[in-house]
Amino acid sequence: MMNILVTGSKGQLGSEIQELASEYAYNFFFTDRNNLDITDVNAIKTFAEKNAINAIVNCGAYTAVDKAETDEVNANAVNHLAVSNLAQIAKEKNIILIHVSTDYVFDGKNFKPYTEDDTTNPNGVYGKTKLDGENALKEINPPNAVIIRTSWVYSSYGANFVKTMLRLGKEKESLGVIYDQVGTPTYARDLAKAILDILPNIKNEKVEIYNYSNEGVLSWYDFAKEIMRMAKLNCHINPIETKEYPTPAQRPHYSLLNKSKIKKEFSLNIPYWKDSLDECLIKLGERR
């Protein structure tokens, strides 16, 4: 039985992996920053040796996109240096490594879905530190290591756009939501299942990158409209431009990810975004 270390296990993705764990014949070790400091390479090495770790799923990340603009040291420590640490130990101990990255490594100026080989050009600190983490992993190049880029993650766990819209939809008669940022949501449970399904089939000599999100194309405005419709909330959603809602960090205007590679190589069937949203709202008790 494989011994799998899951870092960042209290986040959205880590929590979904925990919930799915009983469906898989793996022995899981769920950690967070309180019981494993991934910015400490010796701590990772000790943990891996003590528990005979065969695979690592790195869900640990600094995801406060706006805060990162003024907190680059901490964002870099988690999104870049910690990934380098994990890669070093993975290479030294011949451990499978799945690292989760983001669409923010791109500048959002594309006109067709991003492939894994498209040129990266992050707009802000968060995207830059995530890209630095990717590059560190590629430079160390442990065998059987993959990077999965994803976008617009939500879950029944943690804070996210879906839960924010549900809360505001009950409090307000109307909301302005951005319509000129286009992408696809990712239900963390779908991504968690994909990771656990592909894990035993990872066999590569150099680091491979894969894109993963749910299927479909929409704006944040469309997403909010569908949340209100499914939850039967009488909150009117008004389309607004990005410039009407300024934030410290610049968001990519276009985040569509081409998922052909991961679907082909691992025979994955990826759910449509509305179906996954429906499933999440049912789980939250909000589907009416």
pLDDT at 40 over 80: yes
What's the confidence (pLDDT) of residue 143?
97
| 287 falls within a domain | no
pLDDT confidence bin for 177, thresholds 50/70/90: very high
- Predicted confidence (pLDDT) per residue in 60-81, tens digit: 999 999 999 999 999 999 999 9
Give percent of the chain with pLDDT exceeding 90: 98
Listed residue (103, 129, 123, 130) closest to 115, CA to CA? 103
pLDDT of residue 1 exceeding 90, the answer is no
* pLDDT attached to residue 203: 95
**In a domain? residue 114:** yes
Active site residues: 126
- Tell me the mean pLDDT in the region 97-109: 97
> In angstroms, rounded to a whole number, what is the distance separating the alpha carbons of residues 79 and 40?
13
What pLDDT score does 77 carry?
97
Q: What is the CATH number of the domain that holds 70?
A: 3.40.50.720
Q: Is 58 within the bounds of a domain?
A: yes
Q: How many domains is the chain built from?
A: 1
* Helices marked H in the chain: 12-20, 41-50, 72-76, 82-93, 125-140, 161-171, 188-198, 220-231, 260-266, 273-284
Q: What is the Cα–Cα distance from 39 to 249, expressed in whole angstroms?
A: 24
How far is it, in rounded angstroms, from Cα 209 to Cα 238? Answer: 37
pLDDT greater than 80 at residue 204: yes
- 36 within domain boundaries: yes
Q: For 44-50, what is the mean pLDDT?
A: 98
In a domain, residue 278? The reply is no
Contact in structure between 124 and 69 (CB atoms under 8 Å): yes
- Could you report the per-residue pLDDT of 160-174, keeping only the tens digit for each? 999 999 999 999 999
Is 71 a member of any domain? Answer: yes
Q: Write down the pLDDT at residue 288.
A: 73
User: What's the whole-number average pLDDT of the chain?
Assistant: 97
| Bridging pattern class, strands 55-58 and 2-7 | parallel
Split at pLDDT 50, 70, 90, the class of 287 is confident
pLDDT-derived band of residue 186, with 50, 70 and 90 as boundaries? Answer: very high
pLDDT digits (tens, 9 = 90+) for 207-256: 999 999 999 999 999 999 999 999 999 999 999 999 999 999 999 999 99
**Is residue 91 included in any domain, yes or no?**
yes
Is 142 contained in some domain? yes
Residue with tokens 């939850």: 231
Angle between helices 220-231 and 161-171 (to 10 degrees): 60
CA torsion through residues 37, 41, 43, 49, sign: positive
Mean pLDDT of 104-119: 96
pLDDT in the model for residue 268? 97
Which domain range does residue 11 map to? 2-158+184-216+255-271
| Residue with the two structure tokens 């000599």 | 205
Nearest to 90 by CA among 43, 54, 121: 54
**pLDDT of res. 163:** 98
Strand 174-178 to 96-102 pairing: unpaired
Q: List, in sequence order, the alpha helices (H) in 141-272.
A: 161-171, 188-198, 220-231, 260-266
